[in-house]
Amino acid sequence: MMHIYKPSKEEILAAAGKTVRDVIAPDLLVLFCGINPGLYTAATGYNFARPGNRFWPTLHAAGFTPRLLKPQEQQELLTYGCGITNFVARATATAAELSTEELVEGGKLLKEKVLQYKPQVVAFLGITAYRGAFSLPKAILGPQPETIGETQVWVLPNPSGLNAHFPPAALAQVFRELRETLSMK
């Protein structure tokens, strides 16, 4: 059984400004793009590691993974054609600490990354961050008319447990709609 590391309060607070490595490879089916790492995630070094974050359960419920993965198993996502990156690399206590300028700059860097790695789809996790980063104030959830090179763009709800607009079943359904459009391996 895998030991799950739980950082101390001090370690979490000390994680401000740290980064977490991307889970990425060329030609993925989907590259999930979070807003930025939270402090808990940065303290552990694993994406979406905070207890209560619904990313991993949602991926499983939507059929992206055959079983519920733990954040410590994030590299296994690559075997299912999925990866993870973020708009902004630095960890903060809340995404509200990020400036619009940081999101815009993150959007530019993300475009370069998508053009380099060429995923089938890039799926942004959070409509507000997507709108701000790309100056698209009227963007809605789902597939977008814009592309990045040959890569389709989708916007999905933020899987944070704080996103009360999407209970787990509704969140899984929106993610499932994306999965059903992919040419799964």
Task: Work out the average pLDDT over 124-141.
Answer: 94
Residue 21 inside a domain? The answer is no
Backbone angles phi, psi at 142, to 5 degrees: 105, -165
pLDDT over threshold 60, residue 94: yes
3-state DSSP of 19-57 = CCCCECCCCCCEEEEECCCEHHHHHHCCCCCCCCCCHHH
Whether 182 contacts 121, CB under 8 Å: yes
Kindly report the pTM of this predicted structure: 0.94
- Nearest-angstrom CA–CA distance, 155 and 49: 21
Residue 14 inside a domain? The answer is no
pLDDT over threshold 90, residue 164: no
- Using CB atoms within 10 Å of the CB of residue 99, give its burial: 0 to 12 exposed, 13 to 18 middle, 19+ buried: exposed
Residue carrying the six token digits 């459009």? 181
Q: 18: phi > 0 → left, psi -120 to 50 → alpha, else beta; which? A: beta
Residue 2 inside a domain? The answer is no
Whether 41 contacts 47, CB under 8 Å: yes
Radius of gyration of the chain (CA): 15
Residue 129 inside a domain? The answer is yes
User: What local confidence, expressed as pLDDT, does residue 183 receive?
Assistant: 65
Lowest mean pLDDT among 34-43, 51-60, 73-82, 153-162: 153-162
Residue 174 inside a domain? The answer is yes
pLDDT over threshold 70, residue 2: no
Residue 12 inside a domain? The answer is no
User: What local confidence, expressed as pLDDT, does residue 160 receive?
Assistant: 78
CATH number (domain holding residue 38): 3.40.470.10
Residue 58 inside a domain? The answer is yes
Q: Which residue, 136, 129, 146, 133, is CA-closest to 104?
A: 133
pLDDT over threshold 80, residue 75: yes
- Nearest-angstrom CA–CA distance, 42 and 164: 24
Q: Collapsing DSSP states into helix, strand and coil, what is residue 5?
A: coil
Residue 73 inside a domain? The answer is yes
Q: How many domains is the chain built from?
A: 1
Domain enclosing residue 160, as ranges: 33-179
User: What local confidence, expressed as pLDDT, does residue 185 receive?
Assistant: 46
